Structure 1
Amino acid sequence: MSGNPRMDAALSYAARGWAVFPVWWPVGGRCACGKADCQHPAKHPLGSLAPHGVNSATNDPKVIRDWWRRAPLANIGVATGPVSGLVVLDLDPRNGGHPDRLPGSLPTTPTVRTGGGGWHYYLAHPGDGLRFPAKVPGCPGADLKAAGGYVLAPPSLHVSGRRYVWQTPLTQPLAPCPDWLFEAARRPEPRPTAPPPAVHGGSLGTPYGRAALRNELARLAQAPEGDRNNVLNRAAFALGKLAAAGHLPEGTVLGLLTIVAANTGLGEREVERTIASGLRAGKEVAHVG
């Protein structure tokens, strides 16, 4: 035991094959990141240690020990999807989520009571290429965390000051996904899985444009689930303006945004529509006047 409960917990999750990474923590009811307008307090990746967000997650004990030595108060993010063999059903009562309102019953499986008063049901990922939607159809407040997603794991601390705790302990084996979850899943097209592409010189526009492109790609890669489409739209809009001004080739912007957005878990059609709309709006604004 290290004497640091968060490090010890992160190492125990990694020993199960789960990929983990450090997340910002709360201080005085606010996010320790220091941003007064933080949109996801104590829930977003610690970028200095996990620059690619959930894509930085690992089960390497050496890396994990180094992370939590450098940030001993960091919350624990657990990557969901095939990388950890997990699907997590996230029920948030603040948005109407409750076990009694699901379209089917839930098996006994490791379960967390979240700091926000909800539930995280940890289920075994089928590992057969099925792609789960972000929302349970027809169930407000019921989200699914799978490929590209993550959850906070005990003993992480919520911004409210309440801890995430195991309600049904990890001694209980992971249950398989119930049939009604399989009905909500869909089989995806093959998607790239690499980290955000490096942006160098050459034909990628001006230095100003390349710097802006790097920043937008990094921001998109770290966007929390639930906000990824908004972040993608803002990135496409901003980069569309730069493309119209000659700072970036539009084809490069389109290609790199598509790769990074696909890695976050957004659906193919959603990505195409959002990028096209954002680029178009950005170019129109750039051409006004």
Structure 2
Amino acid sequence: MMAEHGAVSSVLLRMSVAWPLSAAAREFARAGVPVFPCVAYGKRPATGHGFHDATTDLDQVQAWWRQSPGANIGVPTGADSEVVVVDVDVHGPVDGRASFDRAARAGLVDGWELLVRTPTGGLHASYPATPGTEQRSWQAGRAGIDFRGDGGYIIVPPSLRSIEGRTVGYGVETINTGPTGLLDSDALRDFLDPRPVSRPRPETWQPVGREDAQRLAAWLDRQDTDRNLKLFWASCRLAKGGVPLTDALDAVLTAAKSDFGPREITATVRSAYRTVRGEPLRRGPSSSPVRGESPQIADGWFSRDASTTPETSRVRGL
């Protein structure tokens, strides 16, 4: 039994390489897939706002290709077209096919609907977009893999490229007749391009006093994002500097905003103090982050000059 396919894949399965670009563009629009013109034999958008100009309006689509019959067909990826694409690049020494095969062995790229051969020898693997979830586009250049999701677009058959003086077309290479499925794009990115775990930088710790707990509280009160991570690393500094746990808790709890509640503050500060003292740190919903921004983001409030603010002080790291 033929696997189910989304609108983009369904049009491509009906398409013949003999179709004029204008006819193919109209067919996508009729199927509810927004399209926009790109320059002939290229990938650059031919409209003022690029993929943001994509539409299913047949009158507009016909006007575009009547004006430029050789325009390639662009399709925005993500929620607009309900398709996301793993773009496998082959450029010089970078061969994304090896990375794609490695991800396939790990079970991370199963469920594609079809594979489109690109003019440079690469592939576009198409998947249904995950309903109700934003899947942002990203690049893993060293792996030769790009992900085309929300905020991206692809060129679709029967578009043509000019490669080293030769005219080469996009074309369907393989159709999946088995089960299709959603792609975990975040897991794929972590597999292809792991992001390093941030750790505190070695440094000579300087003594601090009780007034630094007050400075910490004032600084946290001005933060809008990543406050839990900043609180953890800053509390580590207070603990190392000898500020009593009760002083740190009193200062921060006094300045706490409503979206940064007492239970979360207490758990985070206590976790920091246990970490500095070498006691086992329990992992749970309230545990401090172990992956994210560098602890240097929590500096600035620790200047010995009380008039110095995080915005004006030089970031030194904790």
Please, what TM-score do these two structures have when normalized by structure 2? 0.47
Matched, 1:45 2:45: yes
For structure 1, the residue ranges without an aligned partner over 5 or more in a row are: 27-41, 187-268, 270-289
- Number of the residue aligned with 2:161: 158
Change beyond 3 A, Cα 1:176–1:14: farther
Alignment partner, residue 134 of structure 1? 138
Unaligned runs of 5+ in 2: 1-14, 191-292, 294-318
2:181 to 158, 164, 176: 176
Q: Which has the larger radius of gyration?
A: 2
Query: RCO greater where, 1 or 2, for CA within 8 Å and sep 6 or more?
Result: 1
Contact 1:6 1:72 survives alignment (8 Å): yes
Q: Residue 75 of structure 2 is aligned with which of 75, 78, 81?
A: 78
Aligned runs of 1:248-263 on 2, under 5 Å? none
Alignment of 1:48-127 (within 5 A): 50-94=47-91, 95-98=94-97, 99-102=100-103, 103=106, 104-127=108-131
Cα shift readout 1:166-225 (whole Å, capped 9, x = no counterpart): 1135x969933234x353589xxxxxxxxxxxxxxxxxxxxxxxxxxxxxxxxxxxxxxx
Distance in 2, Cα, partners of 1:67 & 1:6: 11
For normalisation by structure 1, the TM-score amounts to 0.51
Kept in 1, the 8 Å contact 2:77–2:152? The answer is yes
Give the deviation of 1:4 after TM superposition. Answer: 6.2
Identity of aligned residues (%): 33
Decide whether the 8 Å contact of 1:93 with 1:118 is kept in 2: yes
1:5 maps onto 2:5 in alignment: no
Deviation at residue 15 of structure 1 after TM alignment: 2.6
The residue that corresponds to 1:206 in the other structure is none
Q: Is 2:60 the counterpart of 1:20?
A: no
Residues 66-106 of structure 1: per-residue CA shift (max 9 Å, x gap): 11111000011111111111111100122320131325342
The one-letter code matched in structure 2 to 1:143 is D
> Could you tell me how far apart the structure 1 residues matched to 2:147 and 2:117 are?
16
